[in-house]
């Protein structure tokens, strides 16, 4: 046996093992990017050495059906998709389509849809009645999960279609339901799921039908397999519309274009939005839109020639925990942070992961030198989602929390769930974080006072607290102008930004103080109550009065009273208020409009305005903007990629409008 053939066989064995774990056991010991690399290497070797094509044929498109469920044959084979990872690879796919059709000048129109990271299914209907539900299995035979699919919320058991038709789609679990499921499993002492895809797959393979019903699975239908008369469907976009008319849940965020640059822009836009979507997607599926062209292109032995999965960089990866550090937050909370062997996750080199608290370390039994699976969502610091226990070799060490603060060496307080340093006035780490919070965009919004500048000014004794910021020009103007990478213009911009920030609204000022549990909403509630900065003092604080205020609970009130019980806080607050020009609270002048007194919720991303702008308009029109969906909500404005809130609003039959309707409504109001 040649070295090439031996390499191909070894890759085949490895891929089949990972396929079995992924499809049949709902787990994986390899991240998506590494798996994709293996598949790409395997396919490349087969392409370069066609005499070994038999090994590619052995791989198939899935795995054999589980012995727990009976097998059924799909009427029409259920193929997997070929992958593209770059714009060049997608353009190569487009060229292959043109070459097959014999026309390189022909512009191909594609229907581009989210690639849902869930479990593929096929549902068979005869004369409108649902009779059989299957997993993809090996593409020819799937597992019979008819009863389990029927438990999925809003899954139609009757459709308005005469004849026989196979509906293809994806079953998934949204992020909120996934977190709740794992929380319930922890309480029961059962093994948790690594990710929503595994949870959906594992839930759907429950033998207990009632247990499946409790898992809150959801579905998207995206195509048709066998149908008696395919001529009635002209294009993929029409198929999606028809599936919605049949009563299926359809992901309506699809995009149709024959411009490859526009498709690339859509792919990039969805990638940026990925972390805000309430379910997992791992790419964009691009399908030739014209059904006649799909018929001409047909299928290869494994893939449709008319569709490709334009994948995103994986946001999961396996690496090793090599050290541990402990961060001290603004309120003294001690947060353990894993120091990782650097790894590429979604195009970003990651070397740290959040461990949240010591309970999380104990729950997952995370140890030093462990190999771990990490996940990165958007710009948020990655988190460890599982430990690869099978990779342990005895070098692992148990993790213990320090007894003293890593910043100021004060004895830590272990009385709460969150371990805390109570030395708030002398702990440099806490002071720095308080200054960063004070200067932030939602606080005093001092442009030029970023984290690095604050660290430098504090470490070099230009500032010791937030009050010192307002004396920087008076004390250190020349020193700052002569700092590396500063100069006169940069320094002048900073001093102007500081001067401008001195005039602030009362609610922004209260928020900027960083009182524990007092966020944006509570700051506005307190500003409305106190009316002026002069009233915001210990003599005006009456606990019983605060408890009567709608929107303030025990936790917030106790924190405010604790803040004002400190002489140091009171003295500091007095000096700060008299240094600034804090405007008295003014109720927004509310217009008498068609939405006056209405409770409304914004969800998803708006294109024409920011969420803050939209909320400000709503409040000016007399509406109350709420953060959660409930039976008291009158109206929901749904933007791009609205997730679980939109779904809940539909369930509660709340009126839903899109951004353009909202703009029209606000203009007419």
CATH of the domain at 636: 3.40.50.10190
Least confident interval from 242-256, 293-307, 366-380, 418-432: 366-380
* pLDDT band at residue 65 using 50, 70 and 90 as cut-offs: very low
Enclosing domain of residue 552: 505-583
CA-closest candidate to residue 620, choices 642, 641, 592 = 592
Regarding whether 509 and 495 lie in a shared domain, the answer is: no
**Which tens digit of pLDDT belongs to each residue from 428-463?**
999 999 999 999 988 999 999 999 999 999 999 999
How far is 307 from 311, CA to CA, in rounded Å?
Answer: 13
Look up residue 639 and give its two tokens: 């933007």
610 vs 258: CA distance, rounded Å: 30
Q: How far is CA 96 from CA 49, 103, 104, 297, 306, in A?
A: 20, 10, 9, 10, 10
pTM reported for the whole predicted model: 0.57
The residues with which 287 forms a beta bridge, in sequence order, are 111, 307
Please name which of 373, 375, 386 lies closest in space to residue 345, comparing C-alpha atoms.
Answer: 375
> Looking at residue 66, what is its pLDDT?
46
Average pLDDT for residues 471-482, to the nearest whole number?
A: 94
**What's the mean pLDDT when you consider all of the chain?**
87
Residue 418 lies in a domain: no
Q: Which stretch, 44-53, 191-200, 366-375, 549-558, has highest mean pLDDT?
A: 366-375
| Per-residue model confidence (pLDDT) at position 583 | 94
- 123, 234: one domain: yes
Residues that are catalytic: 115
Tell me whether residue 537 is in a domain. yes
pLDDT in tens, 361-391: 988 899 999 999 888 765 567 888 889 998 8
Tell me, yes or no, whether 483 lies in a domain: yes
Same domain, 238 and 250: yes
Q: Of 311, 346, 365, which residue is a domain's last?
A: 311
> Within a 13 Å sphere around the CA of 576, how many CA atoms are in the beta-carbon half?
23
If pLDDT is split at 50, 70 and 90, which confidence band does 64 have?
very low
Whether 326 is in a domain gets the answer: yes
Give the separation between CA 424 and CA 431, rounded to whole angstroms: 7
- Distance between CA atoms of residues 230 and 290, nearest Å: 12
Structure confidence at residue 360 (pLDDT):
82
- Domain check: are 653 and 522 in the same one? no
**What is the average pLDDT across 259-279?**
90
The answer to the question of residue 589 being in a domain is no
Same domain, 521 and 628: no
**Shared domain check, 388 and 286:** no
Strands (E), 144-189: 164-172
Query: Which has the higher per-residue pLDDT, 429 or 650?
Result: 429
Q: Do the domain assignments include residue 494? A: yes
Give the whole-angstrom CA distance, residue 502 versus residue 294: 64
Does 509 fall in a domain?
yes
**Structural domains in the chain (count):** 6
411 found inside a domain: no
Report for 21-35, 107-121, 172-186, 540-554: range of highest mean pLDDT: 107-121
Tokens standing for residue 508? 């922004």
Q: How confident is the model at residue 26 (pLDDT cuts 50, 70, 90)?
A: low
Same domain flag for 173 and 211: yes
Q: Specify whether 387 is located in the same domain as 444.
A: no
Regarding whether 131 and 259 lie in a shared domain, the answer is yes
For range 501-525, the mean pLDDT = 91
Residue 420 — pLDDT band, cuts 50, 70, 90? very high
**pLDDT of 378:** 55
Given 447, 469, 501, the domain boundary residue is 501
97-101, 394-398, 638-642: which has the minimum mean pLDDT? 638-642
Both 128 and 149 in a single domain? yes
Query: How far is C-alpha 207 from the chain's CA centre?
Result: 31
| Greater pLDDT, 229 or 284 | 284
How is 182-234 classified by DSSP, letter by letter? Answer: HHHHHHTTPPPPSSHHHHHHHHHT-S-HHHHHHT--EEEEEEEEEES-GGG--
Shared domain check, 259 and 146? yes
| pLDDT-based confidence at residue 68 (cuts at 50, 70, 90) | low
**C-alpha distances in Å from residue 587, one per residue of 428, 527, 531, 552, 592:** 38, 10, 10, 19, 15
Which CATH number goes with the domain that contains 9?
1.10.287
Q: State residue 593's pLDDT score.
A: 78
């Amino acid at each position: 046996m040649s070295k090439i053939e031996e390499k191909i066989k070894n890759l085949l064995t490895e891929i089949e093992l990972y396929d079995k774990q992924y499809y049949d056991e709902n787990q994986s010991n390899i991240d998506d990017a590494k798996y994709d690399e293996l598949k790409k290497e395997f396919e490349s070797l087969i392409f370069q050495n066609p005499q070994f094509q038999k090994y590619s044929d052995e791989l198939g498109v899935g795995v054999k059906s589980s012995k727990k469920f009976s097998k059924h044959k799909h009427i029409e084979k259920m193929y997997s998709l070929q992958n593209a990872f770059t714009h060049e690879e997608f353009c190569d796919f487009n060229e292959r389509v043109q070459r097959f059709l014999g026309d390189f000048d022909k512009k191909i129109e594609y229907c581009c849809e989210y690639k849902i990271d869930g479990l593929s299914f096929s549902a068979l209907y005869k004369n409108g009645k649902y009779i059989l539900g299957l997993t993809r299995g090996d593409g020819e035979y799937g597992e019979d999960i008819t009863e389990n699919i029927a438990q999925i919320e809003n899954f139609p058991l009757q459709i308005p279609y005469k004849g026989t038709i196979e509906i293809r789609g994806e079953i998934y679990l949204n992020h909120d339901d996934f977190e709740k499921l794992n929380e319930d499993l922890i309480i029961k002492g059962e093994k948790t799921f690594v990710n929503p895809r595994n949870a959906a797959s594992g839930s759907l393979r429950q033998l207990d039908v009632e247990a499946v019903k409790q898992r809150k699975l959801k579905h998207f239908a995206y195509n048709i397999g066998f149908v008696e008369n395919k001529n009635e469907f002209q294009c993929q976009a029409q198929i999606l519309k028809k599936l919605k008319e049949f009563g299926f849940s359809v992901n309506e965020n699809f995009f149709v274009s024959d411009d490859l640059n526009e498709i690339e822009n859509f792919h990039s836009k969805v990638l940026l939005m990925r972390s805000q979507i309430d379910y997992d997607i791992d790419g964009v599926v691009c399908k030739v839109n014209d059904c006649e062209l799909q018929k001409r292109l047909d299928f290869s032995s494994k893939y449709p020639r008319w569709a490709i999965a334009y994948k995103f960089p994986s946001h999961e990866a396996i690496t090793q925990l090599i050290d541990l550090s402990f961060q001290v937050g603004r309120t003294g909370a001690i947060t353990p942070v894993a120091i990782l062997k650097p790894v590429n996750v979604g195009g970003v080199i990651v070397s740290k992961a959040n461990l949240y608290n010591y309970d999380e370390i104990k729950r997952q039994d995370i140890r030093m030198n462990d190999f771990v699976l990490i996940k990165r969502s958007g710009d948020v610091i990655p988190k460890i989602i599982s430990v690869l226990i099978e990779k342990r070799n005895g070098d692992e060490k148990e993790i213990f929390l320090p007894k003293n603060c890593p910043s100021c060496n004060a004895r830590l307080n272990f009385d709460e769930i969150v371990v805390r340093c109570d030395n708030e006035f002398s702990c440099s780490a806490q002071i720095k974080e308080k200054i960063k919070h004070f200067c932030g965009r939602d606080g005093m919004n001092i442009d030029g006072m970023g984290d690095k500048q604050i660290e430098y000014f504090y470490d070099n004794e230009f500032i010791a607290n937030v009050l010192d910021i307002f004396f920087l020009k008076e004390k250190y103007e020349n020193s700052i102008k002569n700092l590396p990478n500063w100069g006169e213009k940069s320094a002048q911009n900073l001093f102007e930004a500081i001067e401008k920030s001195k005039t602030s609204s009362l609610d922004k000022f209260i928020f900027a103080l960083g009182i524990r549990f007092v966020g944006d909403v509570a700051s506005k509630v307190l500003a409305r109550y106190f009316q002026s900065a002069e009233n915001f003092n210990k003599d005006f604080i009456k606990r019983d009065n605060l408890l009567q205020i709608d929107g303030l609970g025990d936790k917030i009130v106790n924190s405010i009273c604790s803040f004002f019980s400190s002489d140091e806080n009171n003295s500091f607050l007095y000096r700060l208020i008299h240094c600034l020009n804090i405007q008295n609270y003014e109720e927004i002048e509310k217009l008498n409009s068609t939405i006056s007194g209405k409770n409304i919720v914004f969800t998803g991303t708006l294109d024409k305005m920011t969420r803050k702008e939209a909320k400000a308009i709503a409040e000016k029109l007399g509406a109350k903007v709420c953060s959660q969906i409930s039976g008291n909500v009158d109206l929901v404005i749904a933007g791009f990629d609205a997730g679980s809130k939109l779904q809940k609003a539909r369930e509660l039959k709340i009126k839903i409008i899109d951004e353009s309707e909202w703009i029209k409504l606000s203009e007419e109001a």
